[in-house]
A and B are shown apart, each in its own frame.
Chain A
């Protein structure tokens, strides 16, 4: 009997421990930020730690072109021109001056003197030409080389028919001239991309896969460590041309970290800055009074919705496309991820072209949608449910994405006008392969992220005829409209800005009328940082743009202390710690001790 009781006691003791442990995880409250925002002068030193859900493929400026790579590259590689602080205006960076000829064909960059690469060599005009030629070399797998096809001699050089890129000329040690075959409104924006950033001589004249591990440029930070799927660490470039900058000693990115782990680490002060929230956590932080003032939305430079393949029935009929566009309720779909998704009615985001003066856009109106269905020959009676399109339409969306959830909402919206869709959920590689293949996918999730803040980035690559191909078509809707093509081409080529504005407006009108896409929303990220992080606000163009950030080191020290469990929160006035509340470790010890 004694032994049985002992066994029972032991079992219940173990159960009590388990129950106690489980109870610890039941709180949905977010912890308060660590430290407070003290009124102190910008200071040098400190390491800013952040994380990303995604992996990083490469840090070679010539080939890396995703959002995370761009954020890190903006620290490693300065460009000839860049966007101003918290502005979409382009300002000289490595170039001291920039002269653009009246015909818009000749760009003359005069370099700053004394700019040093991370390897200590001074930047010269020849380095700029070498770097651009390296990016467009026939052997370089540059994903966006054709963006630069307006540079004189680009195609011959890319095809290996010319030994050098004729359109990039060196005139002395500090002057580089870039010549275009045609004027191009977005070209100056293209010069802000890391693709054409000057890279160290160690990068060589052609693509070398080893360079990614020893990325070297003229930026405020130099690469110290890059381990795939683990970490990227950049440290201050002491020879940076901008005196006194950067403030931080280093910036660290933990890669491929689940958002759950990111939240735990952020709350404990192991991360100073966070962006990859899941929907619940995002809502909790945004609604928490404790975090007010320490978070901000990124400017949404995206547009998203539904593409309709204009070469496939029933979307070869513009009335059906218009009906779909009118049927989708933008206000409702954004509720799926409130805050992160914002209703959107036109191709170009508000941040680039604000909707003023009755700007053309698509609109939600079910009665108009039903009328368009009638005009299309598919009249539908919502009361009886009779009519509509007989066949079920396959809709392609990405598995486990916002696009999937949006598709489920759209399914309901479209049922109201007699359009039945079946959602096919696929992986990212399958999605890319299928939607870009001619006459393969009738409709599906559409989305586009701006490469630069200029309307053409939303029209030219995704809706013009020249973006159509049998395979790898960027124009998912296979939309071909000569007036649209002409408007975009003229807008890109004109040097008259008011004419360009008019043409882009006309292009937007055509999209509203023809509805190759039903634009429904724009997606944006919420960013949050601890109070001891200063000098950071989301940039209107660049994601996670950290060069100007600095850390209140005393605040950070207290945060580290908090992480160890010695200090919970910095008291007002700083320098003092509030005592940590009882840690679960204590609870566990008590339970075990009670046994």
Chain B
């Protein structure tokens, strides 16, 4: 088991390195010039040249890659210099993601500020997705060939088809502006305000996933409810709720867990649009601004963070299989 874990971790590190290297190369071979974006359209060539030199963008690609990678992970105490942008990861290991070209802040500081809102939004969105998906799918399967079942199937079709920007604007208009139940956008100052502000963006992301999960759980449950062990459970005299939740749903959640793990990337993709619409100060919004302004260090920081998250979440899914399904432990 430990050997398997070590092997998976080694693959995880390799995957992150490969993604980081690929991103670095793509970002740097694009015809865009960060110095020019920083300087703006009104700047003169001499000023752009100076900024390019200050950022070290006049050096060859390989040299820049070497500096980036050697600076990225290092061992030892902080340099103590005023412009040290590294942070301590664990023990003597320090990570230095550099400084944002445009915001002038260390990238880890920007990510650190953007991560809690993204995690909160992700958690709320998963709650909406799984909650609505599991319950909707369960009821639709249990009430098969009824209006509820047909309605659920129709609604999931709409949910899957509707793009997040449209859902977001519609929710903003109807549930924030018209009914005033929620803020139109923003993040608020206190935790309760964060939660309150997070409901609409979570619904925006969550509705798409919920529609998908509803279908998934419904189809899985339809198959499971025909299984012998379900008939046995009913024959033993267990009530319908026990049959559904203890026996059927637990097994139906297996594919759901897999899909949640694999969908982490999609969740982040959804959050990029949603965070922009709702002015949610998360990683998605940070990424949009970084891409629009060609802010390399931030783009690299986001890629490193999310490739790590996606790789680790997939690892966790594999491990959770073992916990949920005894056959997988062998």
Q: Which residues of A line the B interface, CB within 8 A?
A: 4, 7-8, 10-11, 14, 21-22, 24-25, 55, 57-58, 60, 63, 65-66, 139, 141-147, 158, 208-209, 212, 227-230, 254, 256-258, 260-261, 264-265, 268, 270, 427-430, 432-434, 436-437, 448-449, 451, 461, 467, 469, 471-474, 565, 583-585, 588
Contact = CB atoms under 8 A, between A and B. Distances in A.
Nearest to A434: B31
A65 to B, nearest CB: 6
Nearest to B41: A432
Contact of A139 (B54, B147, B170): B54
Nearest to A255: B279
B285 A144 contact: no
B121 to A, nearest CB: 15
A432 B33 contact: yes
A144 B151 contact: no
B184 A261 contact: yes
Contacts of A147: 44
Nearest to A267: B177
Contacts of A261: 172, 184-185, 277, 279
Nearest to A55: B289
A60 B38 CA distance: 14
A143 B38 contact: yes
Given A141-B50, A143-B38, A264 B99 contact: no
B37 interface: yes
Nearest to B150: A11
Contacts of A588: 179
Interface in B73-126: 82-83, 99, 102-105, 110
Given A209-B104, A230-B279, A24 B47 contact: no
Interface residues of B, number: 60
Given A144-B47, A158-B50, A432-B36, 4 more contacts: A7-B146, A24-B178, A208-B82, A228-B105
A327 to B, nearest CB: 26
Contacts of B102: 57-58
B241 interface: no
Q: Which of A55, A270, A473, A585 has the most CB of B within 10 A?
A: A55
B44 A144 contact: yes
Interface of B: 30-51, 54, 82-83, 99, 102-105, 110, 143, 146-148, 151, 169-170, 172-174, 176-180, 184-187, 276-277, 279, 281, 285-286, 289, 292-294
A265 B172 CA distance: 11
Given A261-B184, A264-B172, A142 B47 contact: yes
A427 B173 CA distance: 29
B59 to A, nearest CB: 15
A58 B47 CA distance: 18
Contacts of A583: 178, 180
A228 B293 CA distance: 14
Contacts of B279: 229-230, 254, 256-258, 261
Nearest to A460: B44
B104 A428 contact: no
Top 9 nearest A-B pairs (CB, nearest first) are A209-B104, A469-B45, A429-B32, A472-B48, A429-B294, A584-B178, A143-B39, A143-B43, A433-B33
B33 A24 contact: no
B45 A472 contact: yes
Nearest to A469: B45
Nearest to A473: B45
A142 B46 CA distance: 11
Nearest to B187: A230
Given A209-B105, A565-B180, A585-B179, A461 B42 contact: yes
Given A429-B33, A434-B31, A57 B103 contact: yes
Contacts of A428: 37, 292
A158 B34 CA distance: 21
A73 B125 CA distance: 39
17 contacts: A4-B147, A7-B143, A11-B148, A25-B170, A25-B178, A58-B102, A58-B103, A141-B54, A230-B186, A258-B277, A264-B176, A268-B177, A428-B292, A429-B34, A430-B32, A472-B33, A585-B180
B235 to A, nearest CB: 25
B33 A471 contact: yes
Nearest to A451: B42
B38 A141 contact: yes
Given A261-B184, A265-B184, A145 B47 contact: yes
